[in-house]
Amino acid sequence: MACPLTDGKRMTAKRLAEEAVLRVMNQSETKMNAIWLETSGCSGNIISFLNSSNPNAYEVLTSIVNLTYDNSIMGEEGEAAYDKFLETLNTEFILLVDGAVSTKDNGVYTIVAYYHGQRITAYEAVQLAGAKAKYVIAVGTCASYGGISSARPNPSGCRSVREVLNRTVIRLPCCPCHPDWIIGTIAHLVSFGMPELDSDGRPSVFYGTTIHDNCTRRGFFEAGNFAAALGEPGCMFRLGCRGPVTRTDCPRRKWNGYVNWPIGNNATCIGCAQAFFPDGMEPFVRY
Amino acid sequence: MTQRITIDPITRISGFLEISAELDQNTIVDAQAKGLLFRGFETMLKGRQPLDAVFFTERICGICSAAHSFASTLALEDALHVYTSNNDKYLREIIHGFEFVQNHLRHFYLMLMPCFVKITSPPIVNVEQYSDFRIPEEGTARLQEHYRQGIEFSMLAHEGQAVLGAKAPHHHGIFPGGVVSDLTAYKIVKVRSYIRQLLTFVSTVMREDTEVIAYYYPDYYEMGISYPNFLSYGVFDNAEESIHYVGPGVLMNGELQEFSPDNITKQVNYAWFNSSNEADEVNPEKKDAYTFIKAPRYANNPMEVGPLARMLISGNYQGGHSCMDRIYARMLETEKILNIMNNLTDLLELLPNGQRRLSIPDISQGAGLVDTTRGSLGHWISIGNKVIDHYSIITPSNWNLSPKDADGNPGVIEKALIGTVIADINSPVEIGRIVRSFDPCVSCATHLIGRNGDRITIELPV
């Protein structure tokens, strides 16, 4: 396996996206359809996707992938919207699930549509599209592992996408998911097929190292210099920082136009990309 | 003869909303707004560490996460008796301000505009089901280009938030004691640069676009009128004129009244909850119930909250209460807030932030009430044995999207739909336009718990 550090630098989402655009323009690849299905969550992952800066969401939606359905941005509403969902099922498409899947009481806690007199649960829609999709991507921690939607006592019986679909699911955890990881993964699927995944189903290129490996405060940790309160310089490990166990490239990539990231802003990493977030990552701040 | 129209999903909002309207001829005579997402945040919060509420509750909503971190921080500061310096307060108002701008731009361009303008790129935004698009081709082409810019500028607003808040959504910036961020001269000029770029866009492009839509759809100044009752908890409620927007207030039937939190009650007559204070008493089989959203009332009145309410209460808007007034007021508010943010940056000093180790009391209570992007947001925390004993949230969309109450009064959006004349009942474009003018958010709205008619008696934080 190639070194994930150098790979991470070389294979940025931008490079992947540029490659995908070139291939679509040269018509060596056709634009693949995609469904973005919001389920039990906060709509934060579609907002994060819209925060993509390089390329931005408009470029992605016009040049790389043909998104046919997303509750938050699509033009049609009601049955005409759900028609788009159903039409896409008969094509080659990527299914992106944003949110956990509520399974309690057959999923009545999340209704995505009312179609020909029937309420369609998110549980049903995920199973329907999941059975037909060429690729399934779980976007964010709720879709990947259940996340905050399944926090104890899990009142709506939320489960991860993989728990309700018996097939390969690419996991892109983090709360929210970084837009580069979403676009980079889509671009990889469009241009090169399935990316290399780790044993947990995460693309190694984005999730190959822990935050601690590349943390800007790693030197403080090695020197035994620990912060006693938020806002102090020093390693925040003793304040509950989850950087040592959390696998993302946040310290190198950073967020929102690459301007900042939690530890860079004097805050602990709360392990929001981890399988046991939030229950297993608390307390977020230990005083 | 009556006939029922059901639209689900109402797309281009946050979360899952169904609107069901009963029509007599072409007029809506009854309407139900149904929030169809339930996660049960208050039940989850029970037993957790109080300080974790900040990062936990912001995950209620991906488009207004800073609103929840702000309200939970106020509630915790109230419960923990934490003092916050003006400098830190200004910084978190700037973080919150970027959330307003991000939200209002995303709402206007991505969610609302395709109701009125034939946007065809990206293809997912194209509308075939309706044909009432009145803006001529040339104007539409210009608005199409502005839609594309709207995506960029809303992204830029979140980038500005991340400079002080680490990332967005779900930022790490606002925390009891103020903010965690270090302030540098570089950050001040960087933040100011975002504010000025956004202000230029809003005061020219967004203003023009709003006026174009209002010009071609003047009938919407007569549609979507709800109750003449408006509520705000206040936001950017600073003493200095240059950074003041609105204080807590109530506008009841044209009369400005002092706000008292004791007047807030919440009811579950038509919501899928048993009359209990535990969210796991959710009951999707309940007779006559039709939504996961509970019904807050102020002195037994349904209240409209949001930009129009704030602009009316603060005396910054003299217009009416219609669908188009709501849209216009939101644009004016965006400009107003950007000016306040710009003025706030002039007052910043290069001081250390106010973070220090906080100790959690064995028993305490706190309230955090603040107006946020969509209106009035309240968090109430009760601490016992140093952990969260009870956490209660009333979101802005609880107010606007609420169902009928015990007296049979419809919720605010329901009321705005009743009386609407649908020109062609096979093409009911009017419903989505009116509903979206409120910028509803179901992700936020469906987490409320509380006893039937429970009176909230926790006082406002000082």
Bridge partner residues of A197 (DSSP): A203
Q: Can you give the pLDDT at residue B453?
A: 39
Q: Which of A151, A155, A257 sits opposite B159 (nearest CB)?
A: A257
Chain B 310-369, CB below 8 Å of chain A: which residues?
352-360
Is residue A199's pLDDT more than 50? Answer: yes
Q: Can you give the pLDDT at residue B461?
A: 31
> Residue B104 sits in a domain of what CATH number?
1.10.645.10
**Over the stretch B347-393, which tens digit does the pLDDT of each residue have?**
999 999 999 999 999 999 999 999 999 999 999 999 999 999 999 99
Q: Can you give the pLDDT at residue B275?
A: 64
Tokens 């206007």, located at residue: B108
Side chain identity at residue B245, one-letter code? Y
Domain residues for A269?
A: 209-287
Q: Domain check: are A192 and A218 in the same one?
A: no
Contacts of B125 (CB under 8 A, 6+ apart): A73, A74, A75, B114, B119, B147
* SS3 category, B364: strand
Q: Domain check: are A135 and A190 in the same one?
A: yes
Query: Chain B: nearest CA to A1, how far in angstroms?
Result: 31
Q: Can you give the pLDDT at residue A13?
A: 75
Of A206, A223, A252, which marks where a domain is finished?
Answer: A206
Contact B378, B458 (CB under 8 A): no
Contact B42, B50 (CB under 8 A): no
Q: Domain check: are A214 and A180 in the same one?
A: no
Chain B 158-187, CB below 8 Å of chain A: which residues?
158-159, 161-170, 172-173, 175, 180-182
Q: Can you give the pLDDT at residue B454?
A: 45
* Residue of chain A with shortest Cα separation from B125: A75
Mutate which: B155, B282, B442, vs A, most A CBs within 10 A: B155
Q: Domain check: are A97 and A58 in the same one?
A: yes
Chain B 291-310, CB below 8 Å of chain A: which residues?
292
**Over the stretch A137-161, which tens digit does the pLDDT of each residue have?**
999 999 999 999 999 999 999 999 9
Number of neighbours of residue B446 by Cβ within 10 angstroms: 31
Residue B328 in any domain: the answer is yes
Element (H, E) at B72: helix B65-80
SS3 string, chain A, reads CCCHHHHHHHCCHHHHHHHHHHHHHCCCCCCEEEEEEECECCCHHHHHHHCCECCEHHHHHHHCEEEEEECCCCCCCHHHHHHHHHHHCCCCEEEEEECEEECHHHHCCEEEEEECCEEEEHHHHHHHHHCCCCEEEEEHHHHHHCHHHHCCCCCCCEECHHHHCCCCCEEECCCCCCHHHHHHHHHHHHHHCCCCECCCCCEHHHHCCEHHHHCCCHHHHHHCCECCCCCCCCECHHHCCCCCCCECCHHHHCECCCCECCHHHCCCCCCCCCCCCCHHHCCCCCC
> Residue A275 sits in a domain of what CATH number?
4.10.480.10
Residue B460 in any domain: the answer is no
Side chain identity at residue B167, one-letter code? K
Of A159, A174, A206, which marks where a domain is finished?
Answer: A206
Mutate which: A265, A269, A272, vs B, most B CBs within 10 A: A265
Chain B 422-441, CB below 8 Å of chain A: which residues?
432
- C-alpha B107/C-alpha B150 separation (Å) is 10
Instruction: Count up the domains in chain B and report the number.
Output: 1
Q: Domain check: are A177 and A36 in the same one?
A: yes
Query: DSSP characters for B400-446?
Result: HT----TT----HHHHHHTT-B-S-TTS-HHHHHHHHTT--BHHHHT
Q: Can you give the pLDDT at residue B267?
A: 87
> Residue A41 sits in a domain of what CATH number?
3.40.50.700
Q: Domain check: are A157 and A216 in the same one?
A: no
Q: Which residues of chain B have pLDDT under 70?
A: 275-280, 446-462
The encoded tokens of residue B446 equal 């469906």
Q: Which of A52, A73, A282 sits opposite B124 (nearest CB)?
A: A73
Query: Chain B: nearest CA to A43, how far in angstroms?
Result: 5
Domain residues for B121?
A: 2-455
Number of neighbours of residue B352 by Cβ within 10 angstroms: 12
Q: Can you give the pLDDT at residue B449?
A: 44
Q: Domain check: are A107 and A194 in the same one?
A: yes
**Considering chain A, what is the average pLDDT of its residues?**
93
* Residue of chain A with shortest Cα separation from B159: A256
Q: Can you give the pLDDT at residue B462?
A: 29
Q: Domain check: are A94 and A233 in the same one?
A: no
Q: How confident is the model at residue A17 (pLDDT cuts 50, 70, 90)?
A: confident
Q: Can you give the pLDDT at residue A11?
A: 58
Element (H, E) at B393: strand B387-394
Cβ–Cβ gap B37/A111 under 8 Å = yes
Contacts of A170 (CB under 8 A, 6+ apart): A135, A136, A137, A138, A185, A194, A195, A197, A201, A202, A203
- C-alpha B16/C-alpha B11 separation (Å) is 8
Instruction: Count up the domains in chain A and report the number.
Output: 2
Q: How confident is the model at residue A8 (pLDDT cuts 50, 70, 90)?
A: low
Q: Can you give the pLDDT at residue B458?
A: 39
| Nearest CA-CA partner of B271 in B412, B28, B45, B448 | B448
Across the A/B interface, how many CB contacts are shorter than 8 Å? 263
- DSSP classification of residue B110: I
Q: Can you give the pLDDT at residue A29?
A: 62
Tokens 């089901």, located at residue: B129
Of A206, A227, A248, which marks where a domain is finished?
Answer: A206
Q: Domain check: are A148 and A253 in the same one?
A: no
Contacts of A234 (CB under 8 A, 6+ apart): A217, A220, A225, A226, A227, A228
Q: Can you give the pLDDT at residue B457?
A: 41
Residue B462 in any domain: the answer is no
- DSSP classification of residue B348: -
Q: Domain check: are A216 and A178 in the same one?
A: no
Residue B461 in any domain: the answer is no
Residue B341 in any domain: the answer is yes
Q: Domain check: are A110 and A241 in the same one?
A: no
Is residue A41's pLDDT more than 60? Answer: yes
Q: Domain check: are A178 and A260 in the same one?
A: no
Query: DSSP characters for B209-227?
Result: HHHHHHHH-GGGGSS----
- C-alpha B12/C-alpha B387 separation (Å) is 38
